[in-house]
Structure 1
Amino acid sequence: MVCPANSFPYNTTLCFCRPGFYLSHSTNASASASGGACTPVGPTDDWEISSGVSSSPPAFLTTVLPLDSIKRVTQSQAVLLEATLLVLALWLLFCAAIRFGRVDGGRSVWFRLRWWISRLDFAFPTAHWLDDQKVVRKRKTELGGTFSVASWILFIGLFSALLYQIITKRSIEVHKVRPVNAPDLLSFVNDMEFNITTISSMSCAHLRGPDTLVIGNPGFIDYRVFPLSAYVNYNCHNTSIGPTVSLKCNNCQIPRRNHFISWQFVDLPNDPAMAVGFQFKLTAKDHVNDRYVSFVSGTLQSDSFDNDKPKTFRGRDLNILKIHLFPQIYNNLKGLKLIQPLFYDFIPGSSFSEVSKLQASLQRSTDGLVNTTLDISYLADYIVEIGKENVMGPVSFLADAGGLYAVSVAIFLYFLLQCEARIKKLRNEDSLMRDIRSHRRAQRHWDKLRKYVTYTWGHSNMDVKSRSGRQHSTLMIDSLCGIQPMHKMKQASTNDSTHIGLTFGTPKEMGTASEIILTEEAKSSRKNHTGN
């Protein structure tokens, strides 16, 4: 007969998977009958052991906040420091780029940006460059503003890294070991669960046992045998990779002697017993407060402890999983007493790595079983008391924050002094920018004055040649604009010869015209005084 890949014929009518391969339990039949393919166990994940207690965050936080994404992003201070350096580099490049823009008499956008950057010089607003025999004055330069903002960027980045360190590592875990006695062990009451999956094509129909609980070592005076149902509730359920035996114990205490629990998987007609590995997960949690869980999980197969050929477990010898229980008291969690399960050893039983030997074993009824034993024992005669001590107080936090700020300012102060010492043009940068701003401000004020005078008197009224013959209209305009009082308007109507026309021109000409107006007003007031 022809068998599928990675399988061989046995009993002339059936096929069986090669050593290290198994038929997925989804078919629940032999390879020849279902036409399924034999698959290996494949690469297994690393073993996972809790370092202490693990608690899940509240459900509303997991739905509102992406806690996993936040942990991945801020899993190291290097991420925060790299982001700080990136922002710092972008800021310096931006400040260097705008210096190449045109000044255009202070009207360009580039000059306005450079001016506002100079106003940000709040870290170094004193005299940057000290010349001898000159008055020390405050300066705000573009270079000072650039380095002031850069110092704050560096400080904020370092401060964020400090806060991250305080939040994640604000306290250290302290372990204290003390001897244990029997009353101490009796005070540890936990709910424990052992889930052991036999990776195979078998089902729970192959299971026989477990029925008894053995306490103590065989051959010693403390050896005892008890019915398992009096201590542990157990059940079996099928999974896609094989049957899972679950052992649950409520209000369990730490065993002060070795405990052994055994079960078997036996051959069924046309469905032999075999296994290629074991997957386990052992958990313990406080009976009252089930928020905290201590666990250990992993996968065992033929190459877990050696690099030999793939194997199939089958035969009379026991496959022993040795589990140690370690008592721990968490003083930082209101004296929580939790049992830490630890996977200690795996002793493989009967197995076959060659097709011929496995084929011969399938023909023997004495090899038609897979024996599994769980060995549970207490680890040591000591209890570990776990507490937490804060390593960051308010004084140390302020000292760290102040030190970061001082370092950030000192770094860029050194760069500032070096730049001004080597580039003389930068020493007078603030004066040049203020002169440009002053000229620009004066030009704006002069433009406003021209517009005001033009709006008040008009272009035609300011012309001397066109002034004659239109004195009456001028008086009407003046009266409407509200520039002169009524008695001055009357004087202007009787003394037409004293009216002086003005021509709108430069500031110098405007100053001359204003002097003429003041002279004529003085003469008029003198005549009035003489007449009186």
Structure 2
Amino acid sequence: MDSGRISCPDRAFRYNGTLCACDPGLYKAANGSCVLLDSPGRFGDWVVNSGVSNNPSFFLTTVLPVDTIRRFTQSQAVLLEATLAFLVVWFAFCFALRFGKMDGRRSVLFRMRWWISRLDSVYDTKHWLDDQQVVVKRKTELGGTFSVASCILFLGLLSALLYQVITKRSIEVHRVRPANAPDLLSFVNDLEFNITTISSMSCSHLRGPNTLLIGTPGFIDFRVLPLSTYIKFHCQNTSRGPTISLKCNSCQVPRRNHYISWQFVDLPNDPATAVAFQFNLTAKQHGDDKHVSSVSGTLKSDGYMDDKPKTFRGAELNVLKIQLFPQAYNNLHNLKLLQPLFHDFIPGSAFSDVNRLQASLQSSKDGLINTTLYISYLSDYIVEVDDENVMGSVSILANIGGLYVISLAIFLYFLVQCEAKVKKLRHEDIVMRRIRSQRRAQLNWNKLRKFVMYTWGPSDLDGSNRSGKQSGRMMMNSFNIFGSLTKRRQNSNGGPNKSIPTEMFWHRMTCLILKGMEEINNQMSIALEVAHNLNR
């Protein structure tokens, strides 16, 4: 703030006694305050776009959500880490189940262990080498554990392979060849260049551009042509300053450099000052709006000389150098596109000191901002872009088969080592099958007792006593019951001749039931011996 007749806003100074100007590096906004350019970095916002995607589409892109997968994974390391985590969780779960009690097949832990052993669909042969015996089909808990682990590993590696197929199935190959004149004439592009002089000025400060300079100054190929014959020009006022637009439709690639210059001059009580230049240059093949290459950015003086904020003003030229490079995309129906490249920025007159800027504002010789757009064509060579497939369908199938074999081989090796060094693991399946047979025999015995008691009434069948005498007495009682029943049926049917088929039927039934009871007793005795051994 100034204590005189004129009060200036914050971060501003007075010149010519009655006028206010912002400090170096600041410009006057629409509300009259002095603001600093809010562009990040030393060179501001910087974007270069080739206009062509580096991820070509193929058959999997129409089926799978490729973009979602790519954002979620970002690399194969995430998929491999997830596979390792699943393996660790599975092994921890199987290891925790081994601390549970068998409990005669009644516990949930035993049922889980049994079903894990049923999952042994891969390693369902004898797991250790023995040349003297025939290979025996069997399923074990350890084999089921490693079968599921091999499936987890295979699925993890397969997902990583699919990720590689999706993201890196083909590579982009660039070939450089010398350019002939007919090749360059085939490049017909629409060019548009927009540059905003960030300041408090307007289009009324603008003088030019009117001419187009072609060639190298001082050489015989140098030409001065009217700008309107090649380029459409217009200026538009924005909240950040005047924006100059230069458009050229159906432009061919010339073999010489182009220069376009314009100036911003002082107006009464409105000096010509600027703090930065924001530009955007786009190029697209004529008639094709799908592929657009571009380069854009914000140029500040503190990114080139020192870190002090500066204000552009004075007679020295601010030169923005852009290069156009021809590229032919053979993989996109012979697309021919000019790639704009930002090559250099040569800052002109600028002031970082308040006193020097104040003296410049009070001098008429510094009342302008000179800007020149220098476009050079790198037309000696043409870059031809094409795609080459890294993996075909046969190689993908071969990789899948190799991953499957590797997954099986890894866990088969671990399985052989475990069973070869820990002999107890060889007989786990026998123990689990005997426990399951014991429980099954007990259930069948209970069903038979209920059937006999329901059919012939209560008897002295006692499943708790399995001695030979009790079995014999039980069989005799059964014979007595069957005999009395046959006699009753003979009397009720009117004589012995009509009861002969009935006697034969019940005799056969008795033999079958007794044979089944004998087999059940044998199974129960075997199961009791196994349980007794386990308890010891």
TM-score, normalising length: structure 1: 0.81
Indicate how the Cα distance of structure 1 residues 492 and 420 shifts in structure 2: closer, same or farther if over 3 A, else same: farther
The equivalent residue for 1:501 is none
The equivalences for 1:343-492 within 5 A come to: 343-459=342-458, 490=493
The equivalent residue for 1:178 is 177
The equivalent residue for 2:473 is none
Residue 41 of structure 2 corresponds to residue 38 of structure 1: no
The equivalent residue for 2:23 is 18
Q: Distance in 2 between matches of 1:243 and 1:55?
A: 36
Deviation at 1:106, TM superposition (A): 0.8
The equivalent residue for 2:318 is 319
| Mapped contact 2:51–2:291 kept (Cα < 8 A) | no
Indicate how the Cα distance of structure 1 residues 151 and 321 shifts in structure 2: closer, same or farther if over 3 A, else same: same
| Mapped contact 1:214–1:259 kept (Cα < 8 A) | yes
Q: Distance in 2 between matches of 1:163 and 1:65?
A: 10
Number of aligned residues: 478
Q: Distance in 2 between matches of 1:284 and 1:260?
A: 18
Residue 269 of structure 2 corresponds to residue 264 of structure 1: no
The equivalent residue for 1:304 is 303
Q: Percent identity?
A: 67
Q: Distance in 1 between matches of 2:460 and 2:101?
A: 41
Deviation at 1:135, TM superposition (A): 3.8
Residue identity in the other structure for 1:313 = F
Q: Distance in 2 between matches of 1:238 and 1:488?
A: 124
Aligned to 1:285, the other structure's residue is in SS state strand
The equivalent residue for 2:213 is 214
Residue 147 of structure 2 corresponds to residue 148 of structure 1: yes
Q: Deviations over 1:353-395 (max 9, x none)?
A: 1111111111112212222111111114111111111121233
Q: Deviations over 1:113-170 (max 9, x none)?
A: 1111111112211211335744431231111111111111111111111111112211
Indicate how the Cα distance of structure 1 residues 428 and 5 shifts in structure 2: closer, same or farther if over 3 A, else same: farther
The equivalent residue for 1:527 is none
| Mapped contact 2:87–2:152 kept (Cα < 8 A) | yes
The equivalent residue for 2:507 is none
Residue identity in the other structure for 1:191 = D
Aligned to 1:118, the other structure's residue is in SS state helix
Deviation at 1:251, TM superposition (A): 0.7
Residue 118 of structure 2 corresponds to residue 115 of structure 1: no
Q: Distance in 1 between matches of 2:420 and 2:121?
A: 20
Q: Deviations over 1:377-414 (max 9, x none)?
A: 11141111111111212332222222212221222122
Indicate how the Cα distance of structure 1 residues 215 and 440 shifts in structure 2: closer, same or farther if over 3 A, else same: same
Q: Distance in 1 between matches of 2:235 and 2:145?
A: 71
Deviation at 1:48, TM superposition (A): 2.4
The equivalences for 1:334-349 within 5 A come to: 334-349=333-348
TM-score, normalising length: structure 2: 0.80
Indicate how the Cα distance of structure 1 residues 143 and 303 shifts in structure 2: closer, same or farther if over 3 A, else same: farther
The equivalences for 1:217-296 within 5 A come to: 217-296=216-295
Stretches of structure 1 that go unaligned for 5 or more consecutive residues are 28-33, 464-473, 495-509, 516-532
Indicate how the Cα distance of structure 1 residues 423 and 283 shifts in structure 2: closer, same or farther if over 3 A, else same: same
| Mapped contact 1:128–1:139 kept (Cα < 8 A) | no
The equivalent residue for 2:163 is 164
The equivalences for 1:47-126 within 5 A come to: 47-51=46-50, 53-54=52-53, 69-126=68-125
Indicate how the Cα distance of structure 1 residues 160 and 512 shifts in structure 2: closer, same or farther if over 3 A, else same: closer
Q: Distance in 1 between matches of 2:246 and 2:66?
A: 33
Q: Distance in 1 between matches of 2:495 and 2:313?
A: 130
Q: Deviations over 1:459-513 (max 9, x none)?
A: 38999xxxxxxxxxx99xx9xxxx999658638999xxxxxxxxxxxxxxx8499
Q: Distance in 2 between matches of 1:488 and 1:287?
A: 113
Q: Which moved more, 1:149-158 or 1:202-211?
A: 202-211
Q: Distance in 2 between matches of 1:251 and 1:14?
A: 48
Q: Distance in 1 between matches of 2:488 and 2:269?
A: 126
Stretches of structure 2 that go unaligned for 5 or more consecutive residues are 463-480, 498-512, 519-536
CA RMSD of aligned residues (A): 3.6
The equivalences for 1:501-516 within 5 A come to: 511=514
The equivalent residue for 1:31 is none
Indicate how the Cα distance of structure 1 residues 39 and 187 shifts in structure 2: closer, same or farther if over 3 A, else same: same
Residue identity in the other structure for 2:287 = V
Aligned to 1:372, the other structure's residue is in SS state strand
Residue identity in the other structure for 1:356 = N
Residue identity in the other structure for 2:443 = R
| Mapped contact 1:54–1:293 kept (Cα < 8 A) | no
Q: Distance in 2 between matches of 1:50 and 1:90?
A: 45
Q: Deviations over 1:421-458 (max 9, x none)?
A: 33222121111111111112222222222333333344
Q: Distance in 2 between matches of 1:71 and 1:402?
A: 25
